[in-house]
Structure 1
């Protein structure tokens, strides 16, 4: 007997309902399986060299690219500092030189090790070791340090500082970022999700979605970095991890909340997943698109460390959205109501007709508070946030010394302190001046006249030491009387002068010296480079970037919100509240940095990064709230729609905010000043945005304005509040 026609039509439909989720899960498993093993190999395609991220037009970059022609193979100088308990006599000097001779054949050393130089007070000595810039700097430095420690006389301490030493410390600070950072973020999110949802399976499903998004994003980023399309650093890597985990979890929680809501209205888990997907698609796509647009504004940056973060992070957000809209619905379809066990949502035919404003819980109470005094609420909140924003004036974001970048122990910082006590503090990190050979003496005179320069030399391959001292009388002969004066090395008609700085290369005084030298040498067409010049150019580019990019990000997000909400007034209000929230978070953070943590200052890029993350991610919650408010306003009128939207989304936005704050707070496990400051600002700002701005300020302002917030759309001209919403409005006032 043939099967009924309607049964044959249903069978393919049922097969597709099973095959599509299965295919999606398998595809994500394959992609994550390919990307997962790359966590331990990111260092193969990343670089933490500061000069690599400068704009090509920067003077420091021009000089850096010219060094190879003068100094031979590309190398990074390591300054080895020896400090003795007593005076270093001839025997002590010989012993230290023997220790240096013992390490000169260490793999990674690229050139001759300099002779030992004893300080004038006889209590310290220094030497310079060139390290291949393409070698594993941290490994080479660690090997040299251990070998020297084994060979130097008793009572002599060894420190390795200079560019190679600080690079090694920086690499060490990022060591274990794959495991430590990711583990801390996932653990924090898991604990929060268990506490909020009181379920064991749901947090696993959400975290699996986030982790698969991260693995797939890393797969794409790793190969793009390997092919030279993107620049990747430890800093960018850490932000990518946190951003993907936080964003994917946020998007997942929005869909999960909608899914649980739909399960109360229908028996069919497939129908509930589809309805939840339809209800979440637009806000997730809009939220992710807004974040991506904000991040891509970083492409306008003149600083490559900023411009490369934009596309890397945007790729992460793309996969966070894809995972939340494909993998998560498939997993929810597989588990159904069981995903919420032991608190499974029961089917309730009357749930859809229930008035959300009469429910019990904190969010209906907040809605009643706003409904009774909207203007008083938003005025008080605005005053408090404005007062907090005044702390911005205390944020010292003009840059910090390289020695302050690492929090905790730093051998390079200790070595720099010893160097400054016994030698010119800038030893080993000279200021380089690239100038035409005919201007050699004129440029040298400028250097010699500057109080920030201790001595001047010119690179000379004829000299046994590789350079020749330059005085006001010209080049100084080397060796016994009658020996010819070494000729300077000339490359493309230019010579390379080296000036020993009186102050530490990463100090404000050294930066001032570079500014003076550039001003005095500019008429000669000279370029000033080196470690200090690189820091100066980086800070200048960062300040220029934040001045340009912040207004652009605001304009882009404003346009997106206008298109999404089909209005002008509401987006302007949302942007204004987001900016106020950011200023308040930055102001409080500045007071905490200065008064509690006693940080030495902040990188100029800190406000820019914090702004992009807080504004772009803060708009996520605006979108979650206002898209639901608009949906409810169509059916119930604007004012009631605002209150209903607040009640419905309050729980999910709060949960998402706590999760995002926890993931960004995990950045603090990396002992890098920049990342610790970003972690605090964003985590605090997200909580402020979630509990104050999105819960009180935005609903109160929009409620006070009423339907005019939708101007100039047709919704602003509707008089819904005079009919269907009036009765509910009166009931809300009377509700306990």
Structure 2
């Protein structure tokens, strides 16, 4: 008997070490791939577009033309009060030097502004082809030559320069994004755990999960062609640390509780995993399913974010349910110092904030429910104040050289376009297409460029400024008139982004709602409770977007809204919001199964899980808020809306509205499941199991 106990004890001691060893092997295998993720990241506008878009077809055919894809730049010379002859000579000399050093598509010809203050030279080169690194080197080489002096300002703009500036911003995100996220999570964990050691454990495990997710994401790109962008890889990192820390909070809270009941850490961890594991698995599965719905999107950037976000959540889940328990067991009770949970002890009783909040919701549930609904509806009205679609030059929170050049061009040449529209047409119809283009209203000029492989390229300049309503009308008119031809270029790409996002919203949103609803029905064995959760998260999404509409332009000074903001924020808020709903409803159902009356079950669930959910919500909101410190407007807007939505969901919807609805509906909340029926033989309710808040 004693030998058996000794053997069993030895096995239990070995399990954590075996798990630790397995993770070391996994990381060793993933390491060569994790470091390569940045190499496959693509952030050109055309890389975000669907294959069916006109502008995508233009880019593909341009790659096949002699010289490959063309990098378009505009060198802008400007002096307040007017250019001098010396300025024009300087400009001509610099352009000649650029033409001598690089293979240009055509000889640059200067175009003076009407007021004589500005001179622009369109510069186009197919020297780098489709190599983004070579493109950046070309743009920087042109900038090294085009220098201002003695009051003469020189700026390099155009599609190629803008792409280079965007690429530099995205490439600079990885380090600051990771470091800031780690710092924010570390600070919150220190405040929550009040321990000098414990916060390090989930943070290190989240870092391991992030490293693994990078390797898996690279594998998806290589094996299945999953697109990887700076935005999607950044969001993946946020999800790993945000969701992973949430799962850690739930597990550590339950583990601390079990350590007071069970003497040995190994057995306590087994009990903790049995207690909170199903809820964590269900919630992470729901988040993953919601994110995978993005595979139905036509936009490459959105479709790629679905698998990458799912990889982040699942890697966090696996790490927190395997590596974290192993490390905690090996470290023993001392990791909780100075608040060590002693065997046989009881947590210090204190007034519960969530008990007080639940009581207020329980006294007048209908009034609280109506009041909360009116508040969310009022906030959602702010969506009408969202600024229009974001233009390329407004995508940066600072002003890089390419954006400054575009602003200078817009002020100096208000009467004409300064950015080429590319038309690809069958070579045997090039002359007729060129004549048709020149006859189109809104076209200032058109010139035939390269030809090859049965296609010809025509460069078109519109009469209106880039991405203005007039230029948009010209592009749409060209697409209507030119059968068999493709119309692309930077402005056309933005139109395709907007149209594709609108289409994706109509397709993806219903799929997400139906998928999440079906999963919740299966998990909660009810129709009413899942409907409450889904309606609640949709209301949160509308309110969070509305708050964005109230602050984006007036407070942040943003000139536009990213076309993909509505879809991406919806998917993330629905998936993550339902995540917390599962924690609450799972405990509510557990209390009901133990014989508690519906209103008592709802209030007990809030009291026992409120602290953990609040801590998790704060961490998740804080990790997404990190994006508001990034230099891209798209990331700032997405991070702001999701962070605000998570806070609304955590402290208003979960606390008051869902609880109030459950109290008001009583057993009907579980309709048509067995819990919706009055028991024939009432069972005395068991004393609810106490769940300490994560802060204990």
TM value normalised by structure 2: 0.92
Deviation larger for 635-644 or 680-689: 635-644
Following TM superposition, where does structure 1 have runs of at least 4 consecutive aligned residues deviating by more than 6 angstroms? 36-40
* Farther off after superposition, 82-91 or 133-142: 82-91
Of 501, 521, 530, the residue aligned with 1:571 is 530
Question: What does 1:311-350 align with in structure 2 at a 5 Å threshold?
Answer: 311-348=307-344
Q: Does 1:496 align with 2:457?
A: yes
Check the 8 A contact 1:661/1:683 in 2, yes or no. Answer: yes
Judging changes above 3 Å, is the alpha-carbon distance between structure 1 residues 655 and 36 closer, same or farther for their aligned structure 2 residues? Answer: farther
- The equivalent position to 1:512 in structure 2, one of 467, 473, 477, is 473
Quick check: 1:459–1:496 contact (8 Å CA) kept in 2? yes
Q: Deviations over 1:516-559 (max 9, x none)?
A: 222233xx333212221111111100110011111110110000
Contact 1:39 1:178 (C-alpha < 8 Å) held by counterparts: no
Shift of 1:441: 4.8
> SS at 1:724's partner residue?
coil
Deviation at 1:595, TM superposition (A): 2.8
- Per the TM alignment, residue 679 of structure 1 is displaced from its structure 2 partner at its CA by 0.8
Give the aligned partner of residue 39 of structure 2. Answer: 44
SS at match of 1:497: strand
> Whole-Å Cα distance in 2 between the matches of residues 256 and 379 of structure 1?
36
1:682 counterpart (618, 633, 642): 642
User: Which residue in 1 is equivalent to 2:693?
Assistant: none
Within 5 Å, give how 1:48-447 maps onto structure 2: 48-70=43-65, 72-85=67-80, 87-88=82-83, 92-104=87-99, 109-111=102-104, 114-121=107-114, 122-127=116-121, 128-130=123-125, 132=128, 133-136=130-133, 137-149=135-147, 154-226=150-222, 229-348=225-344, 360-396=351-387, 399-423=389-413, 429-437=419-427, 439-447=429-437
For 2:100 and 2:24, the matched residues in 1 are separated by: 47
SS in 2 for 1:712: coil
The answer as to whether partners of 2:409 and 2:418 remain within 8 angstroms in 1 is no
Q: How far 1:212 moved relative to its partner?
A: 0.9
Q: State how far apart, in whole Å, the 2-side matches of 1:195 and 1:360 are.
A: 19
- For residues 372-428 of structure 1, what are the alpha-carbon distances to aligned partners after superposition, in whole Å with 9 as ceiling and x for unaligned? 2222222221221122122223234x5211000111122111111222344478766
Which residue is equivalent to 2:594?
Answer: 635
Aligned CA distance change for structure 1 residues 610 and 110 (closer, same or farther; 3 Å): farther
* TM-score when normalising by structure 1: 0.87
Give CA-to-partner distance per residue, 1:689-724, whole Å, 9 cap, x none.
000111111111111111221222222224399552
Cα deviation code 1:63-95 (max 9, x no counterpart)? 222223445322321222122356556654443
Deviation of residue 448 (structure 1)?
2.6
SS at match of 2:338: coil
Q: How does 1:519-538 map to 2 (within 5 A)?
A: 519-521=480-482, 524-538=483-497
Shift of 1:640: 1.8
Q: Which residue of 1 aligns with 2:692?
A: none
Q: 1:39 to 1:410 in 2, by over 3 A?
A: farther
Distance (whole Å) between structure 1 residues aligned to residue 579 and residue 118 of structure 2: 57
2:562 match: 603
Distance 1:720 1:652 in 2: 35
Q: Distance in 1 between matches of 2:30 and 2:680?
A: 52
Does residue 703 (structure 1) correspond to residue 656 (structure 2)? The answer is no
Residues 444-488 of structure 1 show CA distances to partners (whole Å, capped at 9, x for unaligned) of 34433444321111125xxxxxxxxxxxxxxxxxxxxxxxxxxxx
Aligned counterparts of 1:295 and 1:677: Cα–Cα separation in 2: 19
> How far apart, in 2, do the equivalents of 1:457 and 1:535 lie?
23
Unaligned 5+ segments in structure 1 are 1-5, 461-488, 729-736
Q: What is the DSSP-based 3-state SS (H/G/I as helix, E as strand, rest coil) of the residue aligned with 2:553?
A: helix
Rounded Cα–Cα distance in structure 2 between residues aligned with 1:170 and 1:507: 21
What's the offset of the Cα at 1:228? 6.2
Of 430, 439, 442, the residue aligned with 1:452 is 442
**Structure 1's 114 and 228: CA in aligned 2 closer, same or farther, altered over 3 A?**
farther
Residues 1:727 and 1:630: Cα distance change in structure 2 (over 3 Å): closer
**Alignment correspondent of 1:671:** 631
Structure 2 vs 1, CA of residues 647 and 319 (structure 1 numbering), >3 Å: closer, same or farther?
same
- For 2:422, what is the secondary structure of its paired residue? strand
Please provide the CA RMSD for this pair.
2.6
Are the equivalent residues in 1 in contact too, given 2:394–2:560 (CA < 8 A)?
Answer: no
- 1:618 equivalent in alignment to 2:609: no
- Asked which structure has the greater CA Rg, the reply is 1
Matched-pair contact (CA < 8 Å) for 1:161–1:412? yes
Name the SS of the counterpart of 2:654 in structure 1.
helix
**Is this contact kept in 2: 1:78–1:428, CA < 8 A?**
no
Residue 438 (structure 1) shift: 5.7
Q: Which range moves more in the overlay, 648-657 or 229-238? A: 229-238
Instruction: Return the alpha-carbon distance in structure 1 between the equivalents of residues 415 and 273 of structure 2.
Output: 62
Task: Return 361-370 or 29-38, whichever deviates more.
Answer: 29-38
Q: Is the 8 A contact 2:34 2:218 kept in 1?
A: no
